[in-house]
Amino acid sequence: MGPEMSVLFCTYPFVFDAQAKTTLLEIDAVLQMQMAVDQAHRQNISSLFLPVVESVNPCLILIVRRENIVGDAIEFLRKTKNLDYKKPLKVIFIGEEAVDAGGVKKEFFLLIMRELLDPKYGMFRYYEESNLIWFSDQTFEDSDLFHLVGVVCGLAIYNLTIIDLHFPLALYKKLLSRTTTLDDLKELQPEVGRSMQLLLDHPEDDVEDTFCLNFTITVENFGNPEIKPLVPNGESITVSKENRHDFVNAYVDYVFNKSVEPLFNAFSQGFLKVCGGHVLQLFQPSELQAMVVGNTDYDWKELEKTTEYKGEYWAGHPTIKLFWETFHELCLDNKKKFLLFLTGSDRIPLQGMKSLKLVIQPTGGGEHYLPVAHTCFNLLDLPKYTDKDTLQAKLLQAINHYEGFSLA
């Protein structure tokens, strides 16, 4: 087949399902990491013969204090060159001995995103009705910080780590340059979305008298209502049957675009700086969302079925049978805590439970010892419990005190 007849499958995203696209993105990230590492090695070799050439670390080493994780990370990332973002990330918590083989990194992203997205910082607004967040147009923070939040999110995806982002699908639409719609407003603000749908579905001609609306939106400005026009001279334009679709489109556009444009643009630039590229454009918004935050399609029997065992443990071992009997009796919240304890995330990859590849091995000591998680490898050290009540008590104690890494 000649060059004029060649086919690039990446130009036909419908050929791939979501799992295939995720695999392509992971391969692309690994290749970019290897290129960055190779370049660092070449520079280090050159530095041996040319004193003017500075030696560099082939990895991006992030050292943070647990009690100041946001401040330390932001200060570090501000000084980091764009090229260094492509290196494999290694995280070190000061005062903790674990070498980051993946688990420390997972916890770092979990903790820093929990902090950065907390409404107390005023960068994002929390919508209680939907349990989602969106960019706050009332923030005092400058766009530079939103850029760094985007970098952190990009680093998580680039380093194949699921993160907990309570954003609506609209975020992923915008990252992929798709248009937001009324459905996105319904997801973020269900009550407002329903009101807009009622407006569109009203069968009579008396829209002006029934709804009494003009082309404005009322927003809260530090506790005080403020009316803003959706279009020029919006205060003097009454919503009618003829222009109600224009009103709804303008309302949606204001919420997701106009009101937060500089903030989102900064976030998007930071995000795409790390993990943008042709492969990302293969994704549908819902697929990108599932890849970023994982999913909650839990199949606990599948988890048991695909778990592997080491040492004297096997599926029929008395302790293992006690473990799974106890585990399946846990409430959903505690099962999710177990996933968080063992894998660093309470959500599962897009590929499903089978991709977690949990491993359970016996450990020395008596029944008074707690189970220990090696988050880097999804590996559980499980003492040889012989009593179900003891196993349940120790397991619950362990999963409720999971934070922190030590070799002790």
Residues annotated as catalytic (active site), given as ranges: 376
CB 109 within 8 A of CB 163: yes
Dist. CA 79–CA 126, nearest whole Å: 30
* 64 DSSP 8-state letter: E
Among 296, 345, 328, 346, smallest CA distance to 395 is for 328
The token duo for 315 is 């599926």
Residue 135, judged by CB atoms within 10 A of its CB (0-12, 13-18, 19+), counts as: buried
Dist. CA 77–CA 144, nearest whole Å: 11
CB 335 within 8 A of CB 300: yes
- The dihedral formed by the CA atoms of 176, 286, 117 and 344, expressed in degrees to the nearest 10: -120
Element (H, E) at 219: strand 216-221
Among 178, 1, 106, smallest CA distance to 349 is for 106
β-partners of residue 238 are: 214
The percent helix, strand, coil of the chain (3-state, each to 5) is 55, 10, 35
Dist. CA 330–CA 95, nearest whole Å: 34
CB 161 within 8 A of CB 127: no
Give every strand in the sheet of 379-383, ordered side by side.
308-309, 359-363, 379-383, 372-374
> How many angstroms separate the Cα of 230 from the Cα of each of 53, 190, 194, 217, 239?
55, 20, 19, 7, 12
What's the start-to-end Cα distance of the chain, in Å?
A: 61
Among 154, 164, 152, smallest CA distance to 78 is for 152
CB 238 within 8 A of CB 213: yes
CB 29 within 8 A of CB 158: yes
